[in-house]
Amino acid sequence: MDTRRALLVDAFTSEPLSGNAAGVVPDAEGLDAEQMQAVANELGASETAFLLPSDDADRKVRYFTPTQEVDLCGHATIASHGFLAEAGELDAEATLETNVGVLDIDIEDGTVWMTQDTADVERVDLDYERVADALGADPATLEDIGADLPLATATTGLPFLVVPVNFLEGVSNLDPDMSAVADLTEEVGVTGVYAFTFDALDAESTLHGRMFAPAAGVDEDPVTGTASGAVGAYLREVRAFDGELPEEMVFEQGHFVDRPGTVRVRARADPVSVGGRAVTALDGSVVVPEYEADDIIEA
């Protein structure tokens, strides 16, 4: 029976049972995609990082949600490297092979920083009524700010639809129709919808965000690193803050699902970097299933 060490590590927080929990399998060598998918489904985190040997970097990673593989995941990267640093297996700098290329990882005063892929931001022509209906929002909360902050898709490795909202009340009142959100994300070719407002809870936070990705099996993600990087690139593209981004921004997220956390974002130039702390919440082992051809039922 094949068993592997498996952890749940909370990212973008220093407090256990807050932030965004990621599964981490620190030794996934020899596991195939079906086995990784089964383990990710069993762990039940929004994403699980499977660490593997690499010829091109210090290590390779594959990310799985409970239902599918994804190319990049910020919080699982922060979680896995926070664990490695805590275990004494990571120096101040490292490289990571992902499906979007090799990324740099840095550790600064306990914070894990990851570079992301080259940013791409494109404005989209979507009806505000339709977006508002999908998100369960008052259209006025989107249109009020839309003249200065338009709807757009943004990616630094994983694409999101960026939806600015005028005030925190509008963000807190969101009541998404997950089927409609899934249809919207599939139509514009993104992983999820990130709604945000500059009206944040903490005085030190740049903005407050919520991210919905039902088509990827995640109705609402507590704290999203890849989306934060994409939004940092978006703010640069639309010349927010009179065109001069702060050297470092703080994005808060997760409060409305009782998993608060913060992402630090550096987006003045490419590559965008996101950073955060991580803390191990659960450390154990998982049995890896053995599949034979007869065990797999084709749909």
Catalytic center residues: 47
10 Å Cβ neighbour count for 17?
13
Distance of CA 245 to the CA centre of its chain: 21
H helices, E strands: number in the chain? 7, 18
Distance CA 76, CA 98 (A): 12
- Angle subtended at Cα 16 by Cα 14 and Cα 18, rounded to the nearest 5 degrees: 85
Tell me how crowded residue 204 is: count the other CB atoms within 10 A of its CB: 8
Residue 5: count of CB within 10 angstroms of its CB: 13
Distances from the Cα of 80 to the Cα of 14, 38, 60, 73, 264, angstroms? 14, 19, 12, 11, 17
DSSP code, position 118? P
CA–CA gap between residue 17 and residue 24 (Å, rounded): 15
Buried-exposed string 217-234: b where 16+ CB fall within 10 A, e elsewhere:
bbebbbbbbbbbbbbbbb
